[in-house]
């Protein structure tokens, strides 16, 4: 790390601490050339993931949208917020672990449906009806037959 005072690259870390939110590290450094001390902060660099929607538009990934959709689908069902959060975390983890900078809304929807299917079949059908944009009762019946198998 370059010294703020003399510009030397020869510095050492005296103390390191994580911030309260554990998203950055505060480091106290000392220049070995001039002896002055200074503080630096290290933060995680996250790669923004963009979502390509069905209409071709692109927007930043937002885990809150997933949570809101799941909460609506699970309304008045025996599914806890902790279970919903677990699925949201799993979907987000899978997206970031893919290392892709762009992901389709279809892929996200399929991941959410997979999670909901294991939690509650009624919530799964509710989410699928909106996600797949069912237009008539035949779509519901087809999904129910697939679910029953």
Residues 95-125 have pLDDT tens digits of 988 888 999 999 999 999 999 989 998 998 8
Does the structure show a pLDDT above 70 at 81? yes
Q: With CA atoms as reference, report the closest residue to 28 among 54, 52, 64, 4.
A: 4
Per the structure block, which two tokens stand in for 126? 């509710």
Does the structure show a pLDDT above 80 at 138? no
Q: What is the overall mean pLDDT for the chain?
A: 88
Using pLDDT thresholds of 50, 70 and 90, give the confidence band for residue 21: low
Does the structure show a pLDDT above 80 at 70? yes
Q: What is the phi/psi pair of residue 55, to 5°?
A: -85, 0
pLDDT given at position 49: 92
Query: Is residue 58 within 8 Å of 52, Cβ to Cβ?
Result: yes
- The CA-atom distances, in angstroms, between 123 and each of 51, 78, 86, 130, 133 are 24, 10, 15, 11, 15
CA-to-CA distance for 11 and 32, rounded, in angstroms? Answer: 5
pTM for this prediction? 0.63
pLDDT given at position 140: 66
């Amino acid at each position: 790390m370059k010294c703020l005072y003399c510009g030397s690259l020869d510095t050492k870390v005296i103390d390191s601490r994580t911030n309260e939110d554990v998203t950055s590290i505060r480091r106290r450094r000392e220049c070995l050339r001039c002896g002055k001390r200074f503080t630096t902060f290290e933060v995680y660099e996250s790669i923004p993931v963009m979502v390509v929607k069905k209409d071709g538009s692109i927007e930043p990934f937002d885990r809150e949208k997933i949570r809101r959709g799941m909460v609506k689908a699970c309304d008045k069902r025996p599914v806890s917020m902790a279970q919903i959060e677990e699925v949201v975390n799993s979907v987000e983890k899978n997206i970031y672990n893919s290392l892709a900078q762009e992901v389709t809304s279809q892929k996200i929807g399929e991941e959410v449906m997979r999670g909901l299917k294991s939690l509650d079949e009624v919530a799964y059908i509710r989410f699928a009806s909106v996600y797949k944009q069912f237009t008539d009762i035949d779509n519901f019946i087809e999904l129910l037959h697939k679910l029953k198998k």
